[in-house]
């Protein structure tokens, strides 16, 4: 279908944008979406492979709502990186429309957002906006839910499910749900009262196969017997190196997926000797420059920074949650530009982020889940396979698994390549998951009685799948009793109202169990470590770091100070994973080392973590200590020590540097340098101009003095 044939049904701005981008034909899924009522306001569920044109379906619906109906559009995605990617794509296509990305502060109604035509937000951010009762929600004409299969995710799925149900039941907005892998797409479409667009169209042909002993076994059709054998180029006996040799001989790039961060790093080291051999001189020069940027992202490079920097020089890299965000961006950008030839990643790159390669290898299909080894699901493997094949660059893509033996080839074919994707199941029906949402219902004055909650939960995907009204009723009864016991809600006639404390807990977007723990601890005098354990022994700080021997010993010695029999039992009943208070205490020790100015390299080594994970811990700790300060205000408790600790956590400093870090461009390293040279306060900077220039350099000193008036 030529998009120009939709003139009159689509705003001219969309047609002009498509023409400017060279899009002169709609893909089969796009055509089907139009036929199913996309431009008439119908809800649409799209289940189609990567690069089949799902984003343009969402784009047409959003721009139609904005320009055709003069209403707002919202694009919701599960990961921040995906939110930012879609925001940047849209801004490029429609620079004249007012678009904004919002993924940060979860305790704000962000009034400025009402001035924008389209919002790009994370699931949690939009849920938080609804909890804060933003007034512009009725003006939304279209909501896009990217990666709708995340409904089945234990951590993100329940919030997504509640959010969709709220929007569908309260507002008249078109819903567009997108996914590459849905086993029960018809069921999800029926739940959303949506038309289903299901397609296997792919602009780049995908060859799915298994590698064994230097041979690729590729599927020619859906019949298990029609498998072709292809001898791979190269001579290595190591499967991933052999596949890389073959890929590089075609002047292509490879993505490899691993079960753990450690495996991904080891894989990159293994592949770097091969990528190094194909680099041209201009590439070597560019990679040398990139290597320096990656090395110096932090004020002091860590061992991981050095390792990644050295690998990048050789044209290889690893990619996982342990990297600093800037490092991840630099690696992704260099891969897109063809400088980095091979990236070894955990599955973080498989969810939505547009980083395709000609060849994809899923190196590990089993992983440790905390209690034993588990196999990856078909959905996840197919999601990773979807990264293979780059539109505009490749006529085909390859995606492979590794078989240790010839017999294993047929087993993997049956288990993954010929298997149907698993069905998406709701994870909403357990107490720990529902607790925070039921408090939000009451705090928002959205649902205040048991009957209303029952009716709402029966409209969720959980209610749609299981229709177990009795179980839902029992859950509501148990949770409301618990929230009343915490004094977050109070009984009123036939329903409930939120207390001032309960409403604030809901707005702060923390689990009521975490809030109850913090409130209990605010009743006590706390030393430095006590404040930090108050922060870390919360659900939001999970996963905790491993428990060190020091943590076990110190927690045992201080156990009586923290032990609360009921709260401990509630923590142990959480179905997110095994609860070990010593690990939470070990995380507090990590933060103690951070605020005592221990070097990042020493911290990540002692606690077996990474710079990226350390940064995430510090960021999450800021959220929790801010929440503790807000709860202390309501309870009329002293906030002085909490406020000081919040600043110390932000910068990783001791008390004596608090005054110096008030200035921009002075962090933990520069503040300590100044302090050790006798400049202990901001007033000392004014009086020691030449000394400061010598210590900080002219460029940074100029920026510091500018803040002091020249």
Note whether residue 435 is domain-resident: yes
Calpha distance 561→580 (Å, rounded): 16
Q: Let me know: does 492 contact 205? Beta carbons within 8 Å.
A: no
Residues 443, 539 within the same domain: no
Q: 222 pLDDT exceeds 80?
A: no
Residue 573's pLDDT is 58
State the CATH number of the domain containing residue 498.
1.10.10.10
Q: Let me know: does 182 contact 148? Beta carbons within 8 Å.
A: yes
Note whether residue 426 is domain-resident: no
Task: Give the β-pairing of 215-219 and 227-231.
Answer: antiparallel
Q: Mean pLDDT, to the nearest integer, of 156-185?
A: 91
Concatenate the DSSP letters of all residues of 390-403 into one string.
-TTT-SEEEEEEE-
Residues 142, 13 within the same domain: yes
Residues 484, 523 within the same domain: no
Residue 221's pLDDT is 56
Residue 578's pLDDT is 62
Where does a domain end: 198, 228, 248? 198
Residues 666, 625 within the same domain: no
Calpha distance 548→232 (Å, rounded): 46
Res. 508 pLDDT band, cuts 50 70 90: very high
**Nearest Cα to Cα of residue 269 among 235, 249, 244, 286:** 244
Q: List, in sequence order, the alpha helices (H) in 393-449.
A: 406-412, 431-443
Range of the domain at 245: 205-417
| 3-class secondary-structure state, position 178 | strand
Note whether residue 354 is domain-resident: yes
Note whether residue 644 is domain-resident: yes
The more confidently predicted of residues 576 and 376 is 376
The more confidently predicted of residues 256 and 354 is 256
Order of strands across the sheet that contains 316-319: 227-231, 215-219, 205-212, 396-402, 359-362, 254-257, 342-345, 316-319
CB burial readout 603-612, b (16+ within 10 A) else e: bbebbebbbb
State the CATH number of the domain containing residue 701.
1.10.150.20
Residues 447, 586 within the same domain: no
Residues 331, 400 within the same domain: yes
Res. 94 pLDDT band, cuts 50 70 90: very high
Q: 225 pLDDT exceeds 60?
A: no
Residue 370's pLDDT is 58
**For residue 310, is the peptide bond before it cis, meaning its omega torsion is within 30 degrees of 0?**
no
Q: 67 pLDDT exceeds 90?
A: yes
Residue 494's pLDDT is 83
Note whether residue 312 is domain-resident: yes
State the CATH number of the domain containing residue 582.
1.10.3380.30
Q: Let me know: does 360 contact 387? Beta carbons within 8 Å.
A: yes
Where does a domain end: 417, 445, 463? 417
E strand map for 363-488: 366-368, 373-375, 396-402
Residues 356, 250 within the same domain: yes
Q: 257 pLDDT exceeds 90?
A: yes
Residue 574's pLDDT is 56
Res. 301 pLDDT band, cuts 50 70 90: confident
Res. 139 pLDDT band, cuts 50 70 90: very high
Residues 370, 502 within the same domain: no
Residue 105's pLDDT is 67
Note whether residue 183 is domain-resident: yes
Res. 299 pLDDT band, cuts 50 70 90: confident
Residue 64's pLDDT is 94
Q: 178 pLDDT exceeds 50?
A: yes
**Total residue count of the chain as it appears in this document:** 710
The more confidently predicted of residues 218 and 73 is 73
Residues 589, 687 within the same domain: no
Note whether residue 425 is domain-resident: no
Residues 480, 602 within the same domain: no
Q: Let me know: does 190 contact 168? Beta carbons within 8 Å.
A: no
Residue 568's pLDDT is 66
Q: Let me know: does 81 contact 332? Beta carbons within 8 Å.
A: no
Residue 575's pLDDT is 47
Residue 579's pLDDT is 75
The more confidently predicted of residues 516 and 108 is 516
Q: Let me know: does 400 contact 359? Beta carbons within 8 Å.
A: yes
State the total domains in the chain. Answer: 5
Residue 350's pLDDT is 64
Note whether residue 423 is domain-resident: no
Residues 189, 243 within the same domain: no
Residues 572, 646 within the same domain: yes
Q: Let me know: does 311 contact 317? Beta carbons within 8 Å.
A: yes
Residue 572's pLDDT is 60
| 3-class secondary-structure state, position 343 | strand
Q: Name 54's Cβ contacts closer than 8 Å, sequence gap at least 6.
A: 29, 46, 48, 178, 180
Percent of the chain with pLDDT over 90: 65
**Nearest Cα to Cα of residue 354 among 180, 101, 164, 123:** 180
Where does a domain end: 417, 449, 465? 417
Q: Mean pLDDT, to the nearest integer, of 439-462?
A: 94
Instruction: Tell me the pLDDT of the chain averaged across its residues.
Output: 90
Percent of the chain with pLDDT over 70: 95
* Partners of residue 362 on adjacent β-strands: 257, 401
State the CATH number of the domain containing residue 45.
3.40.50.300
């Amino acid at each position: 279908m030529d998009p120009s044939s939709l003139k009159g049904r689509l705003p001219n701005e969309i047609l002009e944008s498509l023409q400017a981008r060279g899009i002169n034909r709609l893909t089969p899924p796009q055509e089907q979406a139009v036929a199913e009522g996309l431009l008439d306001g119908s809800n649409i569920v799209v289940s189609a492979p990567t690069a089949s044109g799902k984003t343009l379906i969402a784009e047409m619906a959003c721009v139609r709502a904005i320009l055709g109906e003069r209403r707002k559009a919202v694009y919701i995605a599960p990961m921040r990186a995906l939110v930012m990617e879609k925001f940047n794509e849209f801004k490029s296509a429609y620079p004249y429309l007012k678009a904004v990305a919002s993924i940060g502060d979860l305790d704000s109604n962000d009034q400025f957002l009402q001035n924008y035509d389209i919002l790009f937000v994370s699931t949690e951010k939009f849920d938080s906006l609804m909890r804060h009762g933003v007034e512009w929600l009725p003006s939304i004409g279209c909501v896009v839910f990217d990666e709708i299969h995340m409904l089945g995710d234990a951590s993100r799925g329940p919030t997504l499910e509640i959010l969709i149900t709220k929007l569908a039941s309260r507002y008249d907005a078109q819903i567009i749900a997108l996914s590459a892998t849905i086993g029960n797409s018809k069921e999800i479409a029926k739940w959303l009262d949506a038309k289903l667009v299901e397609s296997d169209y792919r602009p780049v042909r995908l060859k799915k196969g298994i590698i064994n002993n230097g041979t690729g076994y590729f599927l020619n059709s859906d019949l298990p017997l029609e498998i072709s054998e292809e001898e791979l180029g190269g001579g290595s006996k190591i499967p991933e190196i052999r596949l890389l040799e073959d890929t590089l001989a075609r002047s292509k790039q490879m993505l490899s997926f691993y079960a753990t961060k450690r495996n991904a790093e080891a894989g990159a080291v293994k592949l770097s000797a091969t990528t190094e051999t194909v680099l041209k001189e201009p590439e070597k020069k560019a990679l040398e420059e990139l290597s320096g940027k990656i090395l110096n992202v932090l004020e002091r490079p860590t061992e991981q920074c050095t390792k990644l920097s050295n690998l990048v020089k050789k044209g290889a890299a690893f990619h996982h949650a342990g990297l600093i965000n800037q490092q991840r961006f630099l690696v992704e950008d260099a891969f897109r530009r063809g400088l980095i030839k091979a990236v070894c990643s955990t599955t973080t790159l498989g969810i939505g982020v547009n980083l395709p390669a000609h060849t994809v290898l899923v190196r590990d299909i089993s992983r440790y889940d905390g209690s034993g080894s588990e196999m990856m699901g078909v959905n996840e493997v197919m999601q990773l396979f979807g990264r293979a094949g780059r539109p505009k660059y490749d006529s085909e893509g390859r995606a492979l698994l590794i078989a240790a033996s010839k017999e294993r080839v047929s087993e993997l074919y049956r288990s993954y390549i010929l298997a149907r994707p698993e069905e998406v199941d709701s994870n909403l029906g357990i107490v720990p998951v529902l607790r925070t949402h039921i408090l939000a219902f009451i705090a928002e004055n959205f649902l205040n009685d048991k009957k209303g909650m029952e009716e709402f939960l029966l409209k969720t995907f959980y209610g749609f799948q299981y229709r177990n009204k009795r179980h839902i009723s029992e859950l509501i009864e148990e949770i409301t009793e618990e929230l009343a016991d915490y004094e977050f809600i109070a009984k009123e006639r036939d329903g409930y109202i939120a207390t001032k404390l309960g409403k604030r807990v809901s707005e702060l977007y923390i689990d009521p169990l975490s809030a109850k723990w913090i409130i209990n601890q605010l009743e006590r005098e706390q030393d430095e470590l006590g404040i930090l354990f108050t922060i870390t022994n919360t659900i939001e700080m999970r996963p905790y770091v491993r428990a060190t021997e020091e943590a076990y010993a110190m927690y045992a010695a201080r156990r009586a100070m923290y032990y609360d029999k009921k709260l401990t039992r509630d923590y142990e009943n959480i179905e997110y994973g095994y609860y070990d208070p010593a690990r939470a205490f070990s995380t507090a020790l990590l933060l103690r080392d951070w605020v005592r100015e221990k070097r990042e390299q020493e911290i990540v080594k002692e606690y077996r973590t990474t710079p990226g994970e350390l940064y995430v811990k510090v960021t999450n700790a800021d959220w929790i200590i801010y929440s503790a300060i807000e709860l202390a205000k309501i309870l009329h408790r002293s906030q002085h020590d909490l406020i000081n600790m919040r600043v110390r956590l932000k910068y990783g400093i001791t008390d004596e540097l608090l005054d110096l870090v008030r200035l921009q461009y002075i962090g933990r390293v520069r503040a300590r340098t100044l302090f050790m040279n006798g400049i202990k306060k901001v007033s000392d900077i004014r009086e020691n101009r030449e000394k400061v220039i010598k210590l900080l350099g002219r460029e940074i000193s100029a920026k510091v003095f500018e803040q002091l008036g020249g």
